[in-house]
Amino acid sequence: MEADCSVASDIQRVPYGEIAGFSDLFVDYTASREEAVRFYGGGFDRETLLARARETAAAPHADREALVQILRDQHRLWGDDPSALANIEKLADPEAAAIVTGQQVGLFGGPAYSVLKAMTSVLLARELEAASGRPFVPVFWLGSEDHDFEEMATAHVPGGSFTYPKPPVDNTGPVGALTFGPEINELVDALEAALPGTDFRGQVMGAVRNCYREGETFRDGFARLMRMLLPGTGLVIFAQDDPRVKRLATPLWRKEIRDSAGSDAALRSATEHIAREYHAQVHIRPSNLFMIHEGQRLPLDVDDGRFHLRGTDQSWSASDLEALLDAEPERFSPNVVTRPLTQDWLFPTAAYVGGPGETAYFGQYRGVYAWADLVMPVIFPRVSLTFIEPGIRRSLDKLGEPPARFSKDADKLFAEIARERLEVDVEGTFGRTIGEVNKLIGPLAPVATAVDPSLKKSVDATRAAMQKELIRLKERVLKADRRNHDQLRAQVEKVADGLFPMGKPQERVLSPLYFTTKYGMDFYVCLMDRLDTDTRSHLLVDL
């Protein structure tokens, strides 16, 4: 069954500064404020992008033909897509430039922003190629060597959360290489039960079962799913853990071994500079390489001129480590600093499409790019959006509150809205009224007892009865108020959970499979027809 390509009935833009959770540096950079842009060597306008493409195409890089052959071979691993293969061939052109993005290989596609990053790279490559005539190729870098198992092994949809069980041995190795056991079948069944029972669910689950099955790896399952979610878009998927890639990266990694103090000084200087005005994202380490050792990915620490493999008794001099790099490059792995450097040594990268966190930490990297003698790409913010489903839109309209307000804690937001909407002081008003009734009845007592002393009890009984009725009325009013508050709380919680599940932006939590199940396997391809490359603000997309 084909997807409904009439998705996105309305799209509104909200400045990042109006939404909680975005760093000041990211907010200022997306607003093109000079105090932020200067850390990147320029903004992300079209002229800067095209100039950077010319610069990087002319700069030295790894063997282009060897890289293209690796991409051809990897392409066949994840199912044929002629548009992607055509773009791989484009990279052989010395004038070609790449628009690169990437993400960890999370279970069931990870959070939806993985797809949004890929979509942005495709849209930007198309736009720049049309504007310049130069070949631009969108590339998705699989973060398959990351070792944060807990983050990569968990997926969420509104109907449940799913976590692949930890391996019985230490899981500090690259997650992408882990092979699924029979447990994956149970998770896939649980996912199917949690997803909405739409006409699209069968097709979606067929794709999921093809990607996530016993004997498959995290890396290959993710890559297959990404290709199925964005077919025909020309997205080139790239795996860094190929031994041939490691061989191509050795010149850059050798420089890190020979001059780790130089990269450290460059990063430290930029970090100190940026920290005077903003929060520095990347913590400085004296070495920026990892090593794969007995299935674990361990950092190399530098002390007294020697490189020590953390958690072991192994160490090397710089010359010995260089020799090991030449002999066994597949044992080495880049960290958060050398990964983008490796990327831009391998690819002629005109722009890197990053999320808010990545965009912020690239602000620390300008100096280390100069140290590596590499062209730093333009840092291009990815599409950032929140989907508003019809039921959530109805609740929003009923509440009359802007969606961005729900980025706050739901309990605190409910308390704020309840206070704002409280039009009467129930307790105070009834308390004052009861006091006034007592004052009015007070003068009746001496009159009644002057006529008949025994009537004092009747006066007191009348006072008590009136107070009782007023208190009973107050309780009825309070009950109605609580009922209104319960309805308000339910509406606030419904909207908050829909827009900010688990208190986080929707795009950082929900698997893309939820929306493909609701709206079809072609949902994200259809959505691309409604989006553009103006990523200076967050999008609210009504479905």
Contacts of 356 (CB under 8 A, 6+ apart): 16, 22, 23, 26, 381, 384
Tokens describing residue 543: 């479905």
For 22-46, the pLDDT digits (tens) are 999 999 999 999 999 999 989 999 9
Q: Spell out the domain ranges in the chain.
A: 19-248+334-384+505-542, 392-501
The pairing of beta strand 136-143 with beta strand 97-104: parallel
Do 8 and 527 touch, CB atoms closer than 8 A?
yes
In this prediction, residue 171 carries a pLDDT of: 58
Do 478 and 122 touch, CB atoms closer than 8 A?
no
Could you give the C-alpha distances from 420 to 90, 377, 398, 423, 479, in angstroms and in order? 59, 48, 15, 8, 19
Determine how many CB atoms are found less than 10 A away from the CB of residue 327.
8
For 399-457, the pLDDT digits (tens) are 999 998 888 888 888 878 877 776 667 778 888 888 888 888 888 888 888 888 888 88
- What angle is formed at CA 15 by the lines to CA 10 and CA 20, rounded to 5 degrees? 110
Could you identify the residue written with the tokens 């908050």?
Answer: 496
Could you identify the residue written with the tokens 């079809």?
Answer: 520
Do 233 and 527 touch, CB atoms closer than 8 A?
no
Burial category of 499 from C-beta neighbours within 10 Å (exposed 0-12, middle 13-18, buried 19 and up): buried
Do 393 and 542 touch, CB atoms closer than 8 A?
yes
Buried b (16+ CB within 10 A) or exposed e, 289-321: bbbbbeebbbbbebeeeebbbeeeeebbebeeb
The letter for the amino acid at 68 is: V
Beta sheet of 385-388, edge-to-edge order:
10-15, 537-542, 385-388
Buried b (16+ CB within 10 A) or exposed e, 219-258: bbbbbbbbbbbbbebbbbbbbbbbeebbbbbbebbbbbbe
**Better pLDDT: 281 or 450:** 450
For 459-512, the pLDDT digits (tens) are 888 888 888 888 888 888 877 776 777 888 889 899 999 999 999 999 999 999
Which of 242-246, 450-454, 516-520 is predicted least confidently? Answer: 450-454
Which of 7-11, 281-285, 528-532 is predicted least confidently? Answer: 281-285
In this prediction, residue 151 carries a pLDDT of: 87
For 332-379, the pLDDT digits (tens) are 999 999 999 999 999 999 999 999 999 988 999 999 999 999 999 999
Determine how many CB atoms are found less than 10 A away from the CB of residue 3.
19
In this prediction, residue 435 carries a pLDDT of: 84
The C-alpha atoms of residue 83 and residue 73 are separated, in whole angstroms, by 15
Which helix (H) or strand (E) element contains residue 525? helix 523-528
Give the 3-state secondary structure of residue 123.
helix
User: Could you tell me the pTM of the whole model?
Assistant: 0.89
The C-alpha atoms of residue 504 and residue 20 are separated, in whole angstroms, by 10
User: How far from each other are the two terminal CA atoms of the chain, in whole angstroms?
Assistant: 19
C-alpha of 302 from chain center: 33
State the SS3 of 482-516.
HHHHHHHHHHHHHHHHHHCHHHCCHHHCECHHHHH
In this prediction, residue 121 carries a pLDDT of: 99
Q: Which DSSP letter does residue 235 get?
A: P
Contacts of 448 (CB under 8 A, 6+ apart): 455, 456, 458, 459
